[in-house]
Amino acid sequence: MGKILKWVGIVIGGLVVVVLLAVVVVYTLGRAKFSQNANVGHPVTIPTSAEAVARGKYLASSVMGCDGCHGPGLQGQAFFDPAVVPNSPPFGILYAPNLTTGQSGVGSMSDAQFERAIRHGIGEDGRTLLIMPSQEYTHLTDEDFGALIAYIKTLPPSDAPTKPRALSFMAYVLAGAGQLGQLPYEQIDQNAAPVASLAASTSAEYGQYLSHIAACRDCHGVDLKGAVDPETGAPTPSLTNSGEVGGWTVDQFLTALHTGARPDGSQLSEAMPWMAYGTMTDNDLTAIYNYLHTLN
């Protein structure tokens, strides 16, 4: 009996060692995923004209919805922080940074660092960004990227407090095990040339461009046929001809985005940032509508 118990103990001990080694390996892989330190990026000349700044403000406020993550005035806000955000998942501490030039901000980053973060998913210190939808913002043309940075450089300095990223052991393990999906950096062809200039119009081609930089696929899926909302866990509708939106007229689409009211009188979900998208021009919304109606 004693020998049996001894062997059982050896087997259990061996299994524990194997599990611990597996956890260490997965944790190490997770840490590696978050520290690519890749030498990527393309040089962009940042304009200074009032027109460029106005274009950048429109992109940030109406199309890209930057304040949805970075907070009012792009002064930063918490994603995960048990001390600030109730029911934060066990991922540690993660803030969308303060983009101003205040003491706690990152607004003094170089143009190249901004470009790497926004279009490539790599932070100023070489970290792989976790939530920044760079897989969509990589579609920004040089002109629109330059306008966006021109606007960010005009933001009033703010010392709104934010905290440095401090991901938990669990976050690294989940990332290493592939449970967090592909990070934005991993979804980008880092060797691709920047998107060519594209004149604003109501064309489906321009609508496709806007659908990327508005990050529609973050919630509605890569094919825009619906997915699961990453924040609420609720299903999101198809935006293609096979879904409800496919049956709307362009006027109904514009009304829904401007007012939040569907054609049947019901309200769009509060998770849908229609209040930001609703400030887009009718021409831009029409372009998106025209693009969506090419999808089946």
Same-domain pairing of 173 and 99: yes
Helices (H), the chain: 2-33, 50-58, 67-70, 111-120, 134-137, 142-152, 169-176, 204-213, 216-220, 250-259, 274-277, 282-292
Mean pLDDT over residues 158-165, rounded?
89
Angle subtended at Cα 148 by Cα 128 and Cα 258, rounded to the nearest 5 degrees: 105
Angle subtended at Cα 235 by Cα 229 and Cα 241, rounded to the nearest 5 degrees: 110
Give the predicted TM-score (pTM) of the model.
0.89
Distance of CA 113 to the CA centre of its chain: 17
Sequence-distant (≥ 6) Cβ neighbours of residue 210 within 8 angstroms: 63, 280, 284, 287, 288, 291
CATH number at residue 271: 1.10.760
Q: Could you give the number of structural domains in the chain? A: 2
Same-domain pairing of 150 and 279: no
Same-domain pairing of 96 and 181: yes
**4-14 pLDDT, tens per residue?**
655 555 656 66
Predicted local distance difference test score (pLDDT) of residue 84? 86
**59-102 pLDDT, tens per residue?**
999 999 999 999 999 999 998 898 888 888 888 999 999 999 99
Same-domain pairing of 137 and 220: no
Q: Nearest 5°: phi and psi at 117?
A: -70, -45
Residue 230 lies in a domain: yes
> Given its phi and psi angles, is residue 178 left (phi above 0), alpha (psi -120 to 50 degrees) or beta?
left
Of 36, 32, 28, 31, residue with least CA distance to 188: 36
Query: Which domain covers residue 241, as residue numbers?
Result: 204-292
> Given its phi and psi angles, is residue 197 left (phi above 0), alpha (psi -120 to 50 degrees) or beta?
beta
Predicted local distance difference test score (pLDDT) of residue 249? 97
| Encoded tokens for 24 | 């260490």
Identify which has the larger pLDDT, 119 or 87: 119
Predicted local distance difference test score (pLDDT) of residue 160? 86
Q: Nearest 5°: phi and psi at 235?
A: -70, 145
Residue 233 lies in a domain: yes
**What mean pLDDT, rounded, does the chain reach?**
89
